[in-house]
Structure 1
Amino acid sequence: MGTIFLHEIAGTAMLLLLGVGVVANVTLTKTKGHGGGWLLINFGWGLGVFAGVYVAFSTGAHLNPAVTVGLLASGAAEYAPGIAVTFGHTVAYLVAQMIGGFLGAALAWLAYRDHYAQEEDPATILGTFATGPEIRNPVWNMITEVIATFVLVFVILMFGNTPSGLGPLAVALLVLSIGASLGGPTGYAINPARDLGPRMFHAVAPIPNKGGSDWGYAWVPIVGPLVGAVLAGLASMAFAA
């Protein structure tokens, strides 16, 4: 249990450090990457997944409650080799992912502390930590998250049925593809811990001009990915050997 907990915390923290970090680099003023654009953000998140998967490889590197829930819904007997699907293991994954999300956001803030201190736009500050829609329509925003997360979890489960399994590069490219193709409407949370952990950090962080944490929208990147994950897990059962 302790190994699961520590590796998932470390892997998720690495993901969020690099993911929040790339958004901060592109959107905060006076950074070297300011104005780098959407594709730079997509690549940054994809490579953040690449790094995080290596860190947590021994646990199956879920890094995402949606992946854990999708595996549970698929009827899998193990979350990773030697890690049985049990209530205790499920809780360990989910709690560790949330802690890792919070810690990764905190580390990204430390790296860009002076730039956050000089940023005057609350929306820009929040946008480095949490997702938000370009057109605010919570029901359709949730549907976008359902679809994007379905793609993530379904493809992961399908790769899991191949002899080579799902390596870090494959999942990184998958996340890059989802961001480039389906990320425009909502910023593609596709991961409750990716949004909620950093949003919680934003709420308590001593950042000038940060404004509110938009808790009215926070349910969308939680419910959407979890629904998409369950649907992907159920769908994958039809393809099981």
Structure 2
Amino acid sequence: MSPFIAEAVGTAILLILGDGVVANVILTRTKGFNGGLISITIGWCMAVFVGVYVSAAASGAHLNPAVTIALAYAGKFDWALVPQYLAAQMIGAMTGAFLVWVAYKQHFDETPDPDVKLGVFCTAPAKRHSMHNFITEFIGTFVFMFAVLSISKASSSLGSLDALPVALVVLAIGLSLGGPTGYAINPARDLGPRIMHFLLPIKNKRDSDWSYSWIPVVAPIAGAMAAVLLYNALV
């Protein structure tokens, strides 16, 4: 499997399982309806585990533009490969979101609240304040990237066996920092599905909240690069 295909497949699996658990918890008349935050955070944890595990050997399992850019910034990844990785991640994220919509089509149709439908695809703040929302996403991704660097250092490379610790980091971030913004910590995870929400013929949908969309893109990249700076200074 080529690195491009591996990144696309891994990111698609990440979104199928991640957005899938959100759909199961918040859409009307699903088996998991009202499962709560714990169900969502555990679901995303396992989504990361599976996505990393299936793609690590071929691509290193970035599955996240913030990780790809930060690793290139740190000199651990070739800048020439960054565009194809970002493209693969976006294609994978959009594909995963599309498949979640297909799987839950009847429940999307029956769910009356357009905000809930949007929430399956992308994040939104509990309290809207650009600066505070940015800071929250920055901190979450900073913690994530610092942990990824530490895990890869301990094992020499970020491989399949590191899927579990990376997934547990995501679980910890979701439980601890997920309340204010929904912890995107991944530009492709938020932007790809948001684009699909805009494109898909979802019954009685609202706008795709483009005024907020820059925060889960810019803040994770900034947070990941800051983590690289501190990690290099300390380690």
Shorter-chain TM-score: what band? over 0.9
- Counterpart pick for 1:86 among 79, 83, 103: 79
Q: Is the 8 A contact 1:19 1:48 kept in 2?
A: yes
CA contact (8 A) 1:72 1:233 kept: no
The separation in 2 between residues aligned to 1:118 and 1:214, in whole angstroms, is: 22
Cα pair 1:75 1:237 within 8 Å, conserved: no
Q: CA deviation at 1:18?
A: 0.4
Question: RMSD of aligned C-alpha atoms?
Answer: 1.2
1:28 maps onto 2:27 in alignment: yes
- Structure 1 unaligned runs (5+)? 80-84
Q: Paired residue for 1:66?
A: 66
Letter matched to residue 69 of structure 1: I
Q: Distance in 2 between matches of 1:141 and 1:96?
A: 27
The answer for the alignment partner of 1:205 in structure 2 is 200
Matches within 5 A, 1:188-203: 188-203=183-198
Taking the aligned partners of 1:237 and 1:75, their CA distance within structure 2 comes to 11
Q: Contact (CA 8 Å) 1:190, 1:221: kept in 2 or not?
A: yes
Displacement after TM superposition at 1:37 (Å): 0.3
State yes or no: 1:111 paired with 2:106. no
- What secondary structure, in the 3-state scheme, does the structure 1 residue paired with 2:179 have? coil
Distance in 2 (alpha carbons) for counterparts of 1:13 and 1:66: 17
Contact preservation (8 Å) 1:119, 1:209: no
Matches of 1:234 and 1:56, distance apart in 2: 27
- Paired residue type of 1:109: W
Report the Cα offset of residue 235 of structure 1. Answer: 1.4
Distance 1:233 1:92 in 2: 22
- CA apart distance, 1:64: 0.2
| Equivalence for 2:230 | 235
How much has 1:134 moved relative to structure 2? 0.3
Q: Going by fraction, where is helix more abundant, 1 or 2?
A: 2
Query: CA shift at 1:27, angstroms?
Result: 0.2
Residue 223 (structure 1) aligned with residue 223 (structure 2) = no
**What TM-score do the two structures reach when normalised by structure 2?**
0.95
Aligned to 1:18: 17
Matched length: 231
Within the alignment, does 1:95 sit opposite 2:87 as a pair?
yes
CA distance in 2, matches of 1:62, 1:163: 16
- Measured in 2, the distance between the counterparts of 1:8 and 1:51 equals 12
TM-score by length of 1: 0.93
What is the percentage of aligned positions where both structures have the same residue?
Answer: 52
For 1:152, give the aligned amino acid: F
User: Which residue number corresponds to residue 134 of structure 1?
Assistant: 126
Amino acid at match of 1:30: R
2:142 is the alignment partner of 1:150:
yes
More off after superposition, 154-163 vs 178-187: 154-163
Q: Deviation of residue 162 (structure 1)?
A: 0.7
- Runs of 4+ in structure 1 off by over 6 angstroms are none
Mark the runs of 5 or more structure 2 residues left unpaired by the alignment.
none
**SS at 1:52's partner residue?**
helix
- Give the superposition deviation at 1:115: 0.4
Contact 2:72–2:79 under 8 Å retained in 1 = no
Counterpart contact for 2:174–2:182, Cα < 8 Å:
yes
The one-character-per-residue Cα deviations of 1:115-166 (angstroms, maximum 9, x if unpaired) are 0011110100000101000000011101100000000011100111113755
